Amino acid sequence: MLLEVESITVAYGGLVAVEAVSFGVEEGAMLAIIGPNGAGKSSLFAAISGVAPVTSGRVLLRGADLRDVAPHRRARMGIAHVPEGRLVFGSMSVSENIEVGSQIQPDASRRREAIERSYDLFPALKGLRDRAAGLLSGGQQQMLAIARGLASDPSVLLLDEPSMGLAPAIVDDIFERIQSLRAQGTLTVLLAEQRAVEALESCDSGLVLQSGRVALAGSRKDLIESPRIKALYLGQ
Amino acid sequence: MTLVDFFQTLITGVLVGAPYALMCIGLGLIFGVMRVVNFAQGEFVMLGSYGAFFIATHLGVQAVGGSASVAILAGVLAGPLVFCLAWWLHWALVGRVTGSAHAANDNHSSQVLITLGISLVLQDGGLILFGSSPRSVPNTLATESFEWGELLINKAQVVSFFLSLCVAILMSQWLLRSQSGKALRAAAGNPRAATFIGIDVVHAHRIAFALGAGISAIAGGLIASRQAFTPYVGLEYVMIMYAGVILGGLGSLTGAFIGGLSMALVQQLSTLVLPHQLQTALVFVIFLGLILLRPQGIFGRSVDRI
Amino acid sequence: MKALRDLFTAREGQALIAVAVLISAVLLSVTDKYLLLVLTQVLIWALLGLAWNLIGGYAGQMSFGHAAFFGVGAYCVAAGYAYANISPWIGLVVAALMGGLAALVIGAITLRLRGHYFALAMLAYPMALLYVFEWAGLQEVTMPMRDSQGWTVLQFSDPRWFGMLALAAVLVVSSLTFWIERSRHGLCLAAVREDEAAAQASGVNVFAVKLRAMVLSGAIAAVAGGLYAAMMLIVTPRAVFGMFVSAQAIIVCLFGGVATFWGPLIGASVLVPMSEWLTANFGSSLPGIQGVMYGAAIIAVVLFAKEGLYWRISDALARRWGVGSKRKKVGESPECSTRGEDEPVSRSEAEAPPGNDDRVILDVKGLGRAFGGVVAVADFNITVRKGAIHGLIGPNGAGKTTAFNLINGFVRPDKGSVILDGIDATGNAPEVLCARGVGRTFQTPRAFRRLSVRDNVRVGALTQTRSDDDARDLTEHALGLAGLSEAEADQLASSASVLQLRLMEIARALAGRPSLLMLDETLAGLGREDLPRVVAAIKGIAASGVTILIIEHTMHVVASIVDELTVLDHGRVIANGQPDLVLQMPEVIESYLGKKWMLHAA
């Protein structure tokens, strides 16, 4: 088990965002974490990458408890969090964004390979190397954010709502590429999404969160065919 | 006022303005990366001047090629000294009330206030340590000038001009090209995203703070031979620095340089028409005008980038 | 007069009198001139601190330039006497007026600035004045000593009288501050300090509140300056406009305790004597030691006791004795309306009859807004019928809160119109909309944390009426409608649960007697057990005739309570109608679940 989350609770003051959530992810697997807005997906990711106030439970990476590990250190341990809303470095160019994302990888050859892989995954970025990231379209920024996350050759990629705010055609494109990530089979990916279908199609298994708790879990097949998901999202 | 007077003032203004512009780069770095109004920036300049003075005295005026090179060397060496001091200050004090994780407006006022405290301690501490009599660093070049037609171009000023320019260019190249420079820009651009890619944002802030202090100190060191200074000289510089940085547009180092140069030039030109006290008042008036009418400055970039 | 009586029956008022008596006793018993000077200085700096406290502490606007007002006052008195032979008593009055005027001008242009810019601008004013005064030849103004005229020109043969005068000033201003604190002004100031956006949404004219505080602050600071001039008999620009004056005002206040009238007194009593002692004993070998001390004091305060000694101690004591924290009870006291004078409140319509009325209360057409290149909301139309509960839903990032902000006035629309009850309300400020009958809650509860829940609600009521009794009634009515109990209302907002905060926000909005209540994700962050209470409150409010527009995600709830549903995706309306129908529409399902859901679904 590469990543294990044991009964994690995240609370902002009195507001409980995630409650006693547990799951595990094997190396190389892709897990979809879906659920309606406010379900706690982003807070869960924040707990794994270390920027959320975790009040109980633990996160284990290769068996090691991450409790006292600062967020930037967790990144160095191989957890790459691609945040909701992209958050690219607007005044830096595309290549600079990717380069700065690769910096934590000490091995120069691995760094080079990772950067190449990023560009291969998103060939459109090659032509935009010198463009300031702030001038890119939403879809391009999303691709850049993922490329930046991959550039450090991480073990775990946390992809937080990549489709948010993007037009449908672009969303399709992004998910196609995420699927090709899965085809490579080396990276462990957690994909948080509101759009259940796109997420489940890309992943091996899924977790459905509602109001901070796990409402449903299962393989891709089970979940996609489940009528309960629609009920969870849109009421009875 | 003749045309010659005008051009003379113009040239002097540009030459003298370069160290001021360098000061602004120091401030611009801190303001741009940390988004903190640093009250102690003027004191960093002041410490640079005193640092240069003590180094020059220690090295001895006769050593290594005469007072001119000593003065210059001392001026530049003052930078690393203040860098270390500022590093410690951030670690001990400023960093404790900063934090990329906190975004509250509350925290910003704590940072500003602590720099106010630091400013007072440095200013009056300086008074205790250095005394109140004005000092300056002897520099034989200060009295020599090139002649160009009817215009006199002061040699010491030319040297400090080029040095300031060099340091400014070095700084901006470092920021643009080096790994740590990029990490700094990333931390400034978006602290959260920077954390996610492994950048220690607090550490980045510390570097920015220390560098910004060190650079302003070098500027202080370079002007140490041009004019006499006392421990209280800091506050005047603060206003000019902020005016320059805001004029150039927050978030742009080039802008800060040009803004600083412009402000110095304006002040120099105003000596032609205004009495002494009003020259400084003019700086404040321009400053206020900028803030009220065009806070984004000439280069008008948004506050979010560096 | 009733106000005065109220003040002095309060425990703190009595404490203040006791302290005043103590200080006068000390003053009158001391004969050493130097000590008297120090004591008087303590009082004058306490006075300046009190002045700063009004804008910096209570209103939360940190001014780094109070030396401007201090200097103006000092020069009024000094120059008036030295050049025009005007008695300093009159000089003090003139000083107050000039200080207030300067504050009005400075405040009007500077208070609109945000954060850093405000701080920097305030810094610049006294510096500019310093150099202008030096240039104007006022480098040194000496007030001639005229012993023969004695007290009529504020020169006392016995310096203890001067001290008593300063004490009187401190006493008056402390009482004034105390009174403001407990009045509706105090409540509005607290609201502005805690959360400007929430204050605005509750109808408080934030700018006016800040400006008023600034003017009063400037006037008092000027009086402090005038007293200083009369005491020192000599005024130089650097002494009164210098950075040190501004810094001292801030430090004295911060050290002693912000937003309490005790703060400046505590701060001055500790810091001034300490600095004098240091100067006296070490001044020759360590010149400038007092500056170092003040610097160290403020660093210590920021690191260890952010709000000052007073709060640190009172909080610690409260914890020890298990009492609720000694945060001020912002009580009742006569008026001062916070409503801007420009907007006459015409609420001629009675409460709308529930439910069946076909009239439209909110008609939004073609509303659009882009931020930079990103389009947040485009061509947004919504028609909300009076008395209805209308839901606004959509996936994350669809633009719902932006739509609210556009309607409610926090963000200006690029295009489109908002018609409220037949009158154009496009782009109106939040407090104006509040006066027009629109109440609003926020996605993350915005509470005035250091006020009680009841006081939070009362802020909403205060903007409706001048009468305190009416305000109290409105508050209780609103609390009842929201379903909050007495105990829940009495506690501090910082101790309240999320559920209670949600209800409190609703009550605060209700206290403004809205005809339209805009609720932003009221159910977010609530556990399943908490939902019924909120739902009941919403239903009850609707039944009382208030129209509700609600953004929500908890679908089964939304479906059960709304009459009409509008769906937003990517900033555009994609569906509108009866909830059951809308939730079955393919476009809606796809926007939430993904495009190919229909293919997989059974």
Tell me the pLDDT of chain C averaged across its residues. 85
**Span of A150-159, B127-136, B195-204 with lowest mean pLDDT:** B127-136
Average pLDDT (C300-320) is: 85
pLDDT of amino acid B220:
92
Residue with tokens 């070098």: B218
Answer whether B183 sits within 8 Å of A103, measured CB to CB.
yes
Those chains having 3 or more beta-carbon pairs within 8 angstroms of chain A are: B, C
- Whether C448 is in a domain gets the answer yes
Domain co-membership, C203 together with C59? yes
Which residues of chain A have a CB within 8 Å of the CB of B195? Answer: 51, 71-72, 75
Average pLDDT (C66-93) is: 90
Query: Cβ–Cβ contacts within 10 Å for residue A179, how many?
Result: 14
H-type alpha helices, C111-158: 115-135
For residues C143 and A188, what is the distance between their CA atoms, to the nearest angstrom? 81
* Residue C375: HSE in the Cβ half-sphere, 13 Å Cα cutoff: 13
- Structural domains for chain B: 3-293 (1.10.3470)
C115 lies within 8 A of chain B by CB: yes
Statement: residue C372 has pLDDT above 80: no
Strands (E), C432-534: 438-440, 516-520
Residues in chain A whose Cβ is within 8 Å of chain C: 13-17, 36-38, 138, 161, 164-165, 167-168, 172, 194-199, 201, 211, 224-225, 227, 229-230, 233-236
Statement: residue C351 has pLDDT above 50: no
Query: Cβ–Cβ contacts within 10 Å for residue C393, how many?
Result: 29
For residue C432, the domain's CATH number is 3.40.50.300
Answer whether B197 sits within 8 Å of A51, measured CB to CB.
no
For residues C71 and C73, what is the distance between their CA atoms, to the nearest angstrom? 5
B104 lies within 8 A of chain A by CB: no
Cβ–Cβ < 8 Å for A191, A203: yes
Statement: residue C1 has pLDDT above 60: no
Which residues of chain B have a CB within 8 Å of the CB of A82? Answer: 196
Query: Which of C443, C560, C597 would you mutate first to test chain A, the one with the most A CBs within 10 A?
Result: C597
DSSP string, chain A: --EEEEEEEEEETTEEEEEEEEEEE-TT-EEEEE-STTSSHHHHHHHHHT-S-EEEEEEEETTEE-TT--HHHHHHTTEEEE-TT----TTSBHHHHHHHHHTT---HHHHHHHHHHHHHH-GGGGGGTTSBGGGS-HHHHHHHHHHHHHTT--SEEEEE-TTTT--HHHHHHHHHHHHHHHHH--SEEEEEES-HHHHHHH-SEEEEEETTEEEEEEEHHHHHT-HHHHHHHH--
DSSP string, C551-595: E---HHHHHHH-SEEEEEETTEEEEEE-HHHHTT-HHHHHHHH-T
Q: How many residues does this entry show for chain C?
A: 602
Q: Would residue A22 be called left, alpha or beta, if left means φ above 0 and alpha means ψ between -120 and 50 degrees?
A: beta
- Whether C333 is in a domain gets the answer no
Q: Looking at chain B, which residue has its C-alpha nearest residue C285?
A: B128
- Whether C578 is in a domain gets the answer yes
Number of domains in chain C: 2
> C152 falls in which pLDDT band (50, 70, 90)?
low
Average pLDDT (C472-486) is: 92
Statement: residue C7 has pLDDT above 80: no
Cβ–Cβ < 8 Å for B265, B17: yes
Average pLDDT (A84-107) is: 90
Interface of B with C in 26-55 (CB under 8 A): 31, 35, 37
Cβ–Cβ < 8 Å for C364, C419: yes
Please indicate whether residue B103 or residue B245 has the higher confidence score (pLDDT). Answer: B245
Pairing relation of β-strands C423-424 and C438-440?
A: unpaired
Interface of C with B in 278-297 (CB under 8 A): 286-292, 294-297
**B92: closest CA of chain A, how far (Å):** 20
Answer whether C593 sits within 8 Å of A195, measured CB to CB.
yes
For residues C453 and C504, what is the distance between their CA atoms, to the nearest angstrom? 6
Which residues of chain C have a CB within 8 Å of the CB of B116? Answer: 64, 247, 250, 295, 298
> Structure tokens of C596?
């190919």
In chain C, the percentage of residues whose pLDDT exceeds 90 is: 44
In chain A, the percentage of residues whose pLDDT exceeds 70 is: 98
- Whether C37 is in a domain gets the answer yes
Q: Looking at chain A, which residue has its C-alpha nearest residue C559?
A: A235
For residues A158 and B53, what is the distance between their CA atoms, to the nearest angstrom? 55
Q: Looking at chain C, which residue has its C-alpha nearest residue A166?
A: C570
Average pLDDT (C234-252) is: 91
For residues A172 and A118, what is the distance between their CA atoms, to the nearest angstrom? 18
Which residues of chain C have a CB within 8 Å of the CB of A14? Answer: 496-498, 501
Which residues of chain A have a CB within 8 Å of the CB of B185? Answer: 89, 91-92, 100
How many CB contacts within 8 angstroms connect chain B with chain C?
Answer: 121
Query: Which of A100, A142, A190 would you mutate first to test chain B, the one with the most B CBs within 10 A?
Result: A100
Statement: residue B227 has pLDDT above 90: no
Using the CB atoms, write b or e for A145-165: b if 16+ within 10 Å.
Answer: bbbbbbbbbbbbbbbbbbbbb
pLDDT of amino acid A95:
93
**Domain stop point among C243, C262, C296:** C243
Q: How many residues does this entry show for chain B?
A: 306
Domain co-membership, C79 together with C213? yes
Amino acid letter for position C113 = L
DSSP 8-class letter at C601: -
User: Order of strands across the sheet with C438-440?
Assistant: C438-440, C516-520, C547-551, C389-393, C564-569, C572-577
Statement: residue C149 has pLDDT above 70: no
Amino acid letter for position C62 = M
DSSP 8-class letter at C357: -
User: Quick one: angle between helices A94-102 and A108-121, nearest 10?
Assistant: 140
Statement: residue B84 has pLDDT above 60: yes
- Of the candidates A17, A224, A235, the beta carbon closest to that of C559 is on A235
DSSP 8-class letter at B94: G
- Whether C149 is in a domain gets the answer yes
Please name which of C370, C362, C352 lies closest in space to residue C428, comparing C-alpha atoms: C362
**A63: closest CA of chain B, how far (Å):** 21
- Whether C284 is in a domain gets the answer no
C-alpha angle with apex C246: C245 to C250, nearest 5 degrees?
115
Q: What is the pLDDT of residues C529-563, one digit of tens each?
A: 888 999 999 999 999 999 999 998 777 788 889 99
Domain co-membership, C456 together with C589? yes
**Domain stop point among C243, C263, C294:** C243
Please indicate whether residue B173 or residue C11 has the higher confidence score (pLDDT). Answer: B173
- Of the candidates C131, C291, C303, the beta carbon closest to that of B280 is on C131
> B184 falls in which pLDDT band (50, 70, 90)?
very high
Using the CB atoms, write b or e for A21-42: b if 16+ within 10 Å.
Answer: bebebeeebbbbbbbbbbbbbb
Answer whether C589 sits within 8 Å of A14, measured CB to CB.
no
Q: Would residue A191 be called left, alpha or beta, if left means φ above 0 and alpha means ψ between -120 and 50 degrees?
A: beta
Average pLDDT (C96-125) is: 90
Statement: residue C596 has pLDDT above 80: no
Statement: residue A66 has pLDDT above 50: yes
Domain co-membership, C364 together with C236? no
**Domain stop point among C243, C267, C288:** C243
Domain co-membership, C370 together with C222? no
- Of the candidates C395, C556, C601, the beta carbon closest to that of A37 is on C395
- Of the candidates B101, B182, B198, the beta carbon closest to that of A104 is on B198
Answer whether B287 sits within 8 Å of C243, measured CB to CB.
no
Statement: residue B171 has pLDDT above 50: yes
> C339 falls in which pLDDT band (50, 70, 90)?
very low
Which residues of chain B have a CB within 8 Å of the CB of A88? Answer: 190, 193
How many CB contacts within 8 angstroms connect chain A with chain C?
Answer: 85
Q: Looking at chain C, which residue has its C-alpha nearest residue B302?
A: C372
Residue range(s) defining the domain that contains residue C209: 2-243
DSSP 8-class letter at C58: I
For residues A209 and A191, what is the distance between their CA atoms, to the nearest angstrom? 13
Statement: residue C332 has pLDDT above 90: no
pLDDT of amino acid A192:
93
Cβ–Cβ < 8 Å for A24, A48: no
Cβ–Cβ < 8 Å for C410, C377: no
Q: What is the SS3 assignment for C412?
A: coil
Q: What is the SS3 assignment for C419?
A: strand
When mean pLDDT is compared over B229-238, B284-293, C267-276, C343-352, the highest value belongs to C267-276
Pairing relation of β-strands A30-34 and A54-61?
A: unpaired
> Structure tokens of C517?
């209540």
Q: What is the pLDDT of residues B98-109, one digit of tens each?
A: 643 334 445 567
Which residues of chain A have a CB within 8 Å of the CB of B182? Answer: 92, 96, 99-100, 103
- Whether C316 is in a domain gets the answer no
DSSP string, C224-288: HHHHHHHHHSEE-HHHHHSHHHHHHHHHHHHHH-TTSTHHHHHHHHHHHHHHHHHHHHHTTTSTT
> B79 falls in which pLDDT band (50, 70, 90)?
very high
Q: What is the pLDDT of residues A138-173, one digit of tens each?
A: 889 999 999 999 998 899 999 999 888 777 778 888
User: Quick one: angle between helices B105-130 and B234-248, nearest 10?
Assistant: 140
Q: What is the pLDDT of residues C425-446, one digit of tens each?
A: 998 999 999 989 999 999 888 9
User: Quick one: angle between helices C206-232 and C88-110, nearest 10?
Assistant: 150
Statement: residue C356 has pLDDT above 50: no
Amino acid letter for position C152 = T
Statement: residue C358 has pLDDT above 90: no
pLDDT of amino acid B103:
40
- Whether C36 is in a domain gets the answer yes
* Residue C457: HSE in the Cβ half-sphere, 13 Å Cα cutoff: 32
Q: What is the SS3 assignment for C307?
A: coil
Cβ–Cβ < 8 Å for C567, C577: no
Pairing relation of β-strands C547-551 and C389-393?
A: parallel
Which class for C198: exposed (0-12), middle (13-18), buried (19 or more C-beta within 10 A)?
A: buried
User: Order of strands across the sheet with A54-61?
Assistant: A15-25, A3-12, A54-61, A64-65
Tell me the pLDDT of chain B averaged across its residues. 84
Statement: residue C42 has pLDDT above 50: yes
Those chains having 3 or more beta-carbon pairs within 8 angstroms of chain C are: A, B
For residues B36 and B97, what is the distance between their CA atoms, to the nearest angstrom? 11
Statement: residue B182 has pLDDT above 90: yes
Answer whether A148 sits within 8 Å of B182, measured CB to CB.
no
Answer whether A211 sits within 8 Å of C602, measured CB to CB.
no
Amino acid letter for position A148 = R
C127 lies within 8 A of chain B by CB: yes
Which residues of chain B have a CB within 8 Å of the CB of C127? Answer: 235, 239, 284
> Structure tokens of C455?
């006081």
Q: Looking at chain C, which residue has its C-alpha nearest residue B281?
A: C128
For residues C64 and C254, what is the distance between their CA atoms, to the nearest angstrom? 13
Domain co-membership, C520 together with C378? yes
Average pLDDT (C213-221) is: 96
Average pLDDT (A31-50) is: 89
Statement: residue C38 has pLDDT above 70: yes
For residues C133 and B126, what is the distance between their CA atoms, to the nearest angstrom? 27
Average pLDDT (C347-363) is: 54
Answer whether B196 sits within 8 Å of A82, measured CB to CB.
yes
pTM, to two decimals? 0.87
